[in-house]
Structure 1
Amino acid sequence: QKKIIEGLKTLKIQSRNKLFTQIIKGGYERFTVEEILNYEQPTKYIVSSTDYSSDNSLIPVLTANKAFLLGYTNEDWGIYDKGKCIVLDDFTMDLKYVDFPFKIKSSAIKLLTSKKNIDLKFVFEYFSFLNMSSNEHKRHYISEIQPMFLNVPSEKIQKNISNFLSKLDEKINLENELLTQYENQKKYLLQNLFV
């Protein structure tokens, strides 16, 4: 099962690389990131208490780095519930695509949404393809990312790419759920082996 998941992840990376290499070579119109994305400071969505719960029926508290989900909060104010966004850590340039309500831990986060005729998942995958990262402890979004040029095809092509890569994400998630079930079944069987 783990090999299946690794194979799917590799397939997604290879597919994304091929698709966006074609986009870059395709002679599509170029736009700056500032022209295609809005950004919002997360100040009003920052959690006031870092005493997180493990109760997943509460509101998730996010960060953009590898931890991503820090826990859950019962704070019912200042929740980001405007729909899809890219959560970008302005220092490390780690990013996540989020499509559920949440709160944020840090003011170093930028919340990015798409402007008209732009598919946000397409832009997220484009950023992932570019593999942006930094070891410098400074803010990058306004000075370095906003002025970057991206080749942007028609909205139909954006959606086709976005839908294809989303289907691979769904398959990876499904296989991960299956792995968890297998691991739980193995644990149960081992516990009852010598009863």
Structure 2
Amino acid sequence: MIPLIKDYFSFGSTLRNKIFEKIRKSDFKKSKIRHLLEYEQPTKYIVENVGYLENPTLIPVLTANKAFVLGYTDEQYGIYDKGDCIIFDDFTMDIKYVDFSFKVKSSAIKILTPKSEINLRYMFEYLSFLSLSSNEHKRHYISEVEDVIVPVPDVEKQNSIARLLFAFDCKIEAERSLCVLLCKQKKYLLREMFI
């Protein structure tokens, strides 16, 4: 990663930590995650054909770990298309914010959606702040994560925090994309220079 992008990423993490440390120490109402998020088992969204395609115009097949998009499927049934959600890998505790239709690879994922008066992006950012992880190969969401207590500011404050952190993530992604384009341009120009 280019140093500038690393600086953005580092600043983004620091910003998230400072915001949520301050919120954690505040006197906002606190509630267990089970009272803030609904979870859905993904059984009806599991892809049948694991011979994934490389066509990004098709339906993505997701996992919550680092791979995220495993490939694409042309299956037209069992597609999650209910709107934004968080996918939570029950074994690794990795999370991803998803704002598009998809299918999943396995039942080890929980699909999380907000209950009323909860901003899903705020919850995603807070879960990211918690840096959940485990070395144990077991299901964690129901046994551990649902009982985690989260400070819950009013919806307007949640929306402000979510917008700020989302805007910063967009800036990082824009810089990363620009970096990729500039690297491609540099390779092209160097190749053309020595022909």
| Fold similarity call, TM over 0.5 | yes
Q: 1:184 maps to what in 2?
A: 184
Q: Separation in 2 of the partners of 1:102 and 1:188?
A: 35
Q: 2:25 maps to what in 1?
A: 25
Q: Measure how far apart 1:76 and its partner are.
A: 1.3
Q: Separation in 1 of the partners of 2:71 and 2:186?
A: 27
Q: Measure how far apart 1:191 and its partner are.
A: 2.5
The residue type paired with residue 104 of structure 1 is: V
Percent identity at matched positions? 52
Q: Does 1:97 align with 2:136?
A: no
**3-state SS of paired residue (2:142):** helix
Q: What CA deviation, in whole Å up to 9, does each residue of 1:161-194 have, x standing for no partner? A: 0000000011011111101111111221233223
The residue type paired with residue 151 of structure 1 is: P
The residue type paired with residue 56 of structure 2 is: N
The residue type paired with residue 171 of structure 2 is: K
Give the TM-score, by structure 1 length.
0.97
Q: Measure how far apart 1:147 and its partner are.
A: 1.4
Q: 2:70 maps to what in 1?
A: 70
Q: Measure how far apart 1:158 and its partner are.
A: 0.5
Aligned pairs for 1:137-176 within 5 A: 137-176=137-176
Q: How many aligned residue pairs are there? A: 195
Q: What CA deviation, in whole Å up to 9, does each residue of 1:76-131 have, x standing for no partner? A: 11111111100000011010111111110011000000000100110111111111
Q: Does 1:43 align with 2:43?
A: yes
**3-state SS of paired residue (1:141):** coil
Aligned pairs for 1:100-111 within 5 A: 100-111=100-111
Q: 2:16 maps to what in 1?
A: 16
* Unaligned 5+ runs, structure 2: none
Q: Which runs of 4+ in 1 moved over 4 A?
A: none
The residue type paired with residue 128 of structure 2 is: S
Q: Separation in 1 of the partners of 2:35 and 2:58?
A: 35
Q: Separation in 2 of the partners of 1:115 and 1:130?
A: 20
The residue type paired with residue 132 of structure 1 is: L
Q: Separation in 2 of the partners of 1:92 and 1:43?
A: 18
Q: Separation in 2 of the partners of 1:118 and 1:99?
A: 16
Q: Separation in 2 of the partners of 1:59 and 1:40?
A: 20
Q: Please provide the CA RMSD for this pair.
A: 1.0
